[in-house]
Structure 1
């Protein structure tokens, strides 16, 4: 437990030797350090998960994810540790809030960054379904766009082909009717279209000539239609229409499995909306609360430090910092004095002056030792 305690003290950014002297402050800084540590742990998991999707499909995806997760977690750990340890409890409440406000904004940004990949994992099933629907609609729109472009580009040929088809249908009906009338004429059936004379006479020959003429025209129209259909089929192949098909369920599963971070992030944002464009309040609140939870978790060490009253550790730390500043200035003055007294156009050989310098140095060391 002592090792764990010291580890969390280190995570909190506290000065361990000073903190040891004040047991009443131990638990507070264990809590702050644990919060910073677990925030960094979540950041490592989040960063690793995001990097795994970036390199998804690569043989080194897991290795890159672990490496980036460790680097990202370490960076967030150091940043949080600095943010908490740099808050000065000596000022007033307003001064502390002003001092911490940039750090809180930074903590909010970090919370947003580390929460997003974890949200992607939490809503993975819903994201996959949204991506399947999106890919299917996108393929439909692509097919419709190509089809419209094809129809506009070859409007003249398509119109001609449609006219030939109409003519062919009309000719086939006329030929059937003419063949029926020819049979009536040959067998002597009296109608308003036949003479009623049995046998292959003049009227029968006329009707047969009309029938043959229509059959020849039908053959010409059919040949023209065949050529036009062949031409349009080649144009469809050239324009890529024949290669486009709606995705099968298996293809949709494959596409969603290799979807990148940007597509999944878009799908997560779309989960908050219904098909008609209205906001789905339940899903929106669920996604938002998860994000707010991580933002609060990231800001928690700063809030704990701000809300905690000024303790003996803070006072001792302030005095230590003040003493270090004082002695640093005194060290600077002493070094200048020694330099001025020791070197004066070369090496000073005056023994009495050296003794005064040694005596001053001893007095200074004694004063510092007594203060500490």
Structure 2
């Protein structure tokens, strides 16, 4: 427990030696340090999870996720520790709030950022279903677009194939009707289309000849239809219409598993809307409360520091800071005095040297004049 307490004191950014003089303050700063630590821990988990989706499918995804999560969590931890430790409890409430305002605004942004990846995990099942529906709808739209384009491009060939099919259907019906009338003629059934004479007579032979002509024509039409169908099928293969099919369940599962962060984020946003475009209040509130929870959790270190009352540690720390400032100012004054004395000594020395140099030059000048004389 001593080691844990010391670790949380480190997280809170306190001066441990000063804090130990006031045991009543120990638990308060353990709580503040624990809040800072767990905020950074959640930030690390969220950042790592987001990075895992960025590198999804890459063998190094777990490594990059852990590395980014560690860096992100450390950055949040260091920032929280500095800002919480820099809030001056000796000032007024307004000054403390003013110090904490930039951190609170930043905490709101960070809370939104770190809550999104965790929302993706919480609503993972619903997101997968939404993605499957979207992929299936997109594939169906793609197929419809390709069919429309194909029909426009090969409209004349498709119309010709339709005419051949209609002629084939008409011939098949006509042949069946002619075959039935031939049987009536042979068996002597008296109707408006038969003579009523039994046997394969003149009328029966005429009907049989007409039937063979129709059968020959049907054979030709079927051959033309086969050729036209083969041509259209080849065109569909070339245009990619044949190969483009709706996704099956296995393909949809595979696509939803490898979906990127952008697709999953879009699907999460669509969960709060119904099919008719109206907002689904239940899902919207659930997502909003999760975001608000993480925003509040991210703001907790600053809020805990602001809510904690001013204690003896804060007073002692303030006096220590004032004493350090006083000693630093004295040291600066002494340094300035010493610096000034050194500079004065240097100036005097330079003046003396200058005077000596001038005297020596004058003496040399006099000596040269004496020599000339």
TM-score interval, normalised by the smaller of the two chains = 0.7 to 0.9
Matches within 5 A, 1:1-372: 1-186=1-186, 188-197=188-197, 203-204=203-204, 206-344=206-344, 346=346
Report how far residue 326 of structure 1 moved.
Answer: 4.2
Question: Which SS does the other structure have where 2:59 is aligned?
Answer: coil
Moved more, 10-19 or 272-281: 272-281
Whole-Å Cα distance in 2 between the matches of residues 88 and 213 of structure 1? Answer: 108
Cα distance, 1:264–1:171 mapped onto 2, change above 3 Å: same
Residue by residue over 1:145-184, the C-alpha shift from the partner in whole angstroms, topping out at 9 and shown as x without a partner, is 3233323332322222112111110111112222333444
Which residue matches 2:365?
none
Structure with higher Rg: it is 2
Taking structure 2 as the reference length, what is the TM-score of the superposition? 0.83
Whole-Å Cα distance in 2 between the matches of residues 152 and 312 of structure 1? Answer: 85
RMSD over aligned Cα atoms: 2.8
Question: Which SS does the other structure have where 2:278 is aligned?
Answer: coil
Whole-Å Cα distance in 2 between the matches of residues 336 and 196 of structure 1? Answer: 143
Whole-Å Cα distance in 2 between the matches of residues 297 and 40 of structure 1? Answer: 10
Moved more, 142-151 or 185-194: 185-194
After TM superposition, what 4+ stretches of structure 1 lie above 6 angstroms from structure 2? none
Which residue matches 2:359?
none
Whole-Å Cα distance in 2 between the matches of residues 55 and 284 of structure 1? Answer: 29
Task: Identify unmatched segments of 5+ residues in structure 2.
Answer: 350-373
Report how far residue 307 of structure 1 moved.
Answer: 1.8
Give the aligned length.
Answer: 350
Task: Identify unmatched segments of 5+ residues in structure 1.
Answer: 350-372
Report how far residue 139 of structure 1 moved.
Answer: 2.7
Report how far residue 204 of structure 1 moved.
Answer: 4.5
Question: Which SS does the other structure have where 1:273 is aligned?
Answer: coil
Whole-Å Cα distance in 2 between the matches of residues 142 and 326 of structure 1? Answer: 77
Cα distance, 1:13–1:274 mapped onto 2, change above 3 Å: same
Structure 1 contact 341–348 (Cα < 8 Å) conserved? no
